[in-house]
Amino acid sequence: MISMLAFQPLAGGSGTTTLTVNYASAIATANTGLRVLLLDLNLQFGGVGLHLNLPETLKIVDAYARLGSLDHDGFRACLQKSSDNLSVFTAPAEVLPLDAVNPTHLRHLISLARANSDVLVIDLPLAVTDWSAEIWKRADYLALNGTLDVRSAAGLRRLSDLAGRDLLQSAHCHILLNRVAGRRSSSWQEEYQAFTRPLARKAPKLLPEGGPGVTAALAAGQSLPRFQPQNPLAETILREISLLTFTNPGGAARPAPSGKSA
Ligand SMILES: Nc1ncnc2c1ncn2[C@@H]1O[C@H](COP(=O)(O)OP(=O)(O)O)[C@@H](O)[C@H]1O
Ligand SMILES: [Mg+2]
């Protein structure tokens, strides 16, 4: 049962925010009985709000300034609705230092987010912080997202060195290879072999190139499944979502599974 998903980029610009937003949106659309919450933890240049056409609010800056004492009402006051069952806690409208959030405060923010949702979806920054590893471990579905290039391959190797190969091999960890072209050349196959070598038997999930429609959806401030449901990226995300089992409504009241306490 999945109640927390986290998306970690392997390289900048590889489409992590696009995938995070579209997964969250697809989960909300496919599970109307679940309260889905999208949390943008890019403390400096977070773009989830832009993807969903949500205004910047100073409430988020205030919330981070008093994160340790933020209560449920204060947290809920920061949420913006993207659809009936999708709420968003956007990034601050100002650039915050990466060490503005200490792990204790971050734990508090996550517990507020979990208590106010059934499924929590987190957009993580490229920069590894002193709270990243905790989220990698606690997520029920951890997506490491890159594209087939040397930057993402280097990102995967560095992350594996940092977090340990066990994390990469664990069942909750998924490697997403974004912007895969429909026609794959022999040089693509060679690059793919090189990219997947550190993964042993774990095969990445391939997310297709969605063409200009993906950026057009972003410009329109709409999720891709809503803006262009026939887009190959939207179809692939909807298919992936249909294979996952999410927590039951009211799941926030459930005791947390052992080893992944909230
Ligand atoms: N599968 C895809 N097909 C086409 N365009 C994509 C795809 N994924 C991402 N993009 C585009 O790539 C750009 C960067 O995406 P973004 O999500 O902001 O990257 P990141 O969060 O990793 O920095 C955006 O213009 C987005 O529309
Ligand atoms: Mg991003």
**Model confidence over 75-103: pLDDT tens digits?**
999 999 999 999 999 999 999 988 888 89
Q: How many Å apart are CA 80 and CA 23, to the nearest integer?
A: 17
Residue 259 has pLDDT above 50, yes or no: no
Which of 61-65, 235-239, 258-262 is least confident? 258-262
pLDDT-derived band at 255, boundaries 50, 70, 90: very low
Q: What is the pLDDT of residue 239?
A: 96
pLDDT digits (tens, 9 = 90+) for 115-127: 999 999 999 999 9
User: Would you say the pTM of this structure is higher than 0.85?
Assistant: yes
- pLDDT computed for residue 197 by the predictor: 85
pLDDT band at residue 174, thresholds of 50, 70 and 90? very high
The predicted pLDDT at position 231 comes to 97
User: Mean pLDDT, to the nearest integer, of 135-153?
Assistant: 96
Residue 234: nearest ligand to its CA? 1
Please report the sign of the dihedral spanned by the C-alpha atoms of residue 54, residue 220, residue 38, residue 132: negative
> Which residue, chain included where needed, has tokens 């968003």?
88
User: 183 has which bridge partners?
Assistant: none
The span from the CA of 52 to the CA of 25, in Å, is: 10
DSSP 8-state secondary structure symbol assigned to residue 105? H
| Residue 179, ligand 1, Cβ within 6 A | yes
What are residue 210's phi and psi, to 5 degrees? -100, 0
123: CA distance to ligand 2 center in Å?
7
Digit-coded pLDDT (tens) for 13-31: 999 999 999 999 999 999 9
Residue 230: its H or E element: none
Amino acid (1-letter code) at residue 103: P
Q: Hey, whose CA ends up nearest to atom 19 of ligand 1?
A: 15
Sorted by sequence, the CB contacts under 8 Å of residue 152 that are 6+ apart come out as: 10, 11, 14, 146, 195
Spell out the domains of the chain, with CATH numbers in brackets. 4-250 (3.40.50.300)
Q: How many angstroms separate the alpha carbon of residue 172 from the centre of ligand 1?
A: 23
- Backbone dihedral angles phi then psi of residue 173, each to the nearest 5 degrees: -95, 125
Residue 237 clears pLDDT 70, i.e. is over it: yes
Q: Are 12 and 125 in contact (CB under 8 A)?
A: no
Give CA separation, 153 vs 13, 128, 133, 145, 197, in Å.
14, 16, 19, 11, 10
What does pLDDT average to over the chain?
Answer: 92
The predicted model gives 142-170 an average pLDDT of: 93
Q: Is 235 in the pocket of ligand 1 (CB under 6 A)?
A: no
